[in-house]
Amino acid sequence: MNLQLAGKSALVTGSTAGIGFAIARTLAREGAAVVVTGRTQDRVNVAVKTIQQEIGDAKVSGIAADLATARGNAKCIEALPAVDILVNNLGVYEPKPFEKITDDDWHAIIETNFMSGVRLCRHYLPGMKAANWGRIIFISSESAVNIPVEMIHYGVTKTMQVALARGLAETTSGTGVTVNSILAGPTRSEGVEQFIADVARTKGIAPAEIEKDFFRTVRPGSSRISRVRGEPSFICYQRRGSARRRRPASVDRLGTHDTAFHEREFHGYQDHLRLFLRYLLVKTSPMIQQQDFVQPEQFPFKDDGVFPNSPLPLLLYRRAITTDAEDPASIFEERFAENDWTNSWRDGIYSFPHYHSTSHEVLGIYSGTATLRLGGEHGKNVEVNPGDVIVIPAGVAHQNIGASDNFGVVGAYPGGRHWDLLRGLPGERPKADHNIAALPMPENDPIYGAEGPLRRIWKDAGASSK
């Protein structure tokens, strides 16, 4: 991967081991200047040295500070006044019956799991907003939703993290700063290994039996504790959502808050890191502002008696997306998915005239060139090139009338709608006309989101056609 993190700085709390260390190591491998943190200098030194040994050109340093305290946070901030990426990973847990959780227990776990993030965000967020770029990530837990009865205070702090992230995200709307939460499932970290070993020793049974009993009685919704299996080899694709169980979200867009939620799907730190990179670091270039939008060419096509076409203009964004990447198609897929244009595919464009009545469609040209005929036999021929994006309203005929051998397209649909394939044959209408009339306006421009030009252009066109 090349996430273009050179020149970016990242602070990962609680990063001398476990998920935090894996994230710090991955960020260093991607070229970021990473700062790891831990409570003791010895642990910090070991983590820094390990990353340096694994990654020869790593830019990594460390801060020894107890971030569960206001003094420790002040020490960290003094050593690192500004940062581009803040990963709030620090967290502790302690199984204890609710009736035995004291006020001191509540205070200690809230200070560590919650207030550490509050204090760091309070300091670093204003600088991110001033720079118009920043990423804040809370490594929360599925316990934020499935509160564990054996440690209710832990689950409460994880819910608090999600609420904080959501509120902060609202304050960043329209900026290049994003705030997200990842709700990880059970993970075999250093602390969990020790916990399992201690319980097994106390009960006089094998650690494997403790793990089986845990998922049978405590976490029946999960299948196993995740294992460490190395770094991510790719960025996984997920649909956009909003903290919906079993349906992970995508990269945060324009300050809105998305929450990744995985239980059964996790296979170790590898999957945590895939989610982390997918959700938070794919969009590493400065957030696109309205003045930076590529304004689309507009092509209105009227009903010609064969093809219904549409009062909504077809939109052609020239060179809207950069394609100089190892897998350029994935750039289109990710951008479209961020804006809830999903159910995507990679292929070409049919050589016969056709249209869809059950969905609008976006096509992203990731390689090669082609001449497309739009609007039917008496429509318009248009040349398309890599980086071009075409938004085709339902009903508008389109076909490929000549293309290079390497012509490649990513297609997607608003809200992941299913699409039909119609050719302007007798009997298709009026059902097709009814389908088209019933379609909702897409919530987002497939490239630029809710602030993009699509909704404005189509609303104006729809109003003028009435």
Highest mean pLDDT among 177-181, 251-255, 323-327, 387-391: 387-391
Q: Please pick, among 154, 279, 317, 366, the residue that the annotation labels catalytic.
A: 154
Q: What is the pLDDT of residue 3?
A: 62
Least confident among 257-271, 300-314, 348-362? 257-271
Share of the chain above pLDDT 90, in %: 59
What residue ranges do the domains of the chain occupy?
Answer: 9-187+226-280, 292-464
Q: What is the mean pLDDT of residues 110-126?
A: 97
What's this model's pTM, rounded to 2 decimal places? Answer: 0.54
Q: Tell me the angle at which helices 116-131 and 70-79 cross, rounded to the nearest 10 degrees.
A: 30
Q: What is the mean pLDDT of residues 135-160?
A: 91
Residue 220: pLDDT over 80:
no
Instruction: At 93, give phi and psi (nearest 5°).
Output: -150, 160
Q: What is the mean pLDDT of residues 293-319?
A: 95
Would residue 154 show up in a list of annotated catalytic residues for this protein?
Answer: yes
Q: What is the pLDDT of residue 94?
A: 86
Q: What is the pLDDT of residue 231?
A: 30
Domain 9-187+226-280 classified CATH 1.10.1070.11?
no
Residue 439: both structure tokens together? 């379609």
Asked if 145 and 182 touch (Cβ cutoff 8 Å), the reply is: no
Q: What is the mean pLDDT of residues 216-222?
A: 54
Residue 286: both structure tokens together? 């400065």
Residue 268: pLDDT over 80:
no
State pLDDT tens for residues 403-436. Answer: 999 999 999 999 999 999 999 999 999 999 999 9
State pLDDT tens for residues 49-83. Answer: 999 999 989 999 999 999 999 999 999 999 999 99
Domain 292-464 classified CATH 3.60.10.10?
no
CA–CA separation, 38 and 18 (whole Å): 12
CA-closest candidate to residue 454, choices 336, 284, 278, 283: 336
Burial category of 208 from C-beta neighbours within 10 Å (exposed 0-12, middle 13-18, buried 19 and up)? exposed
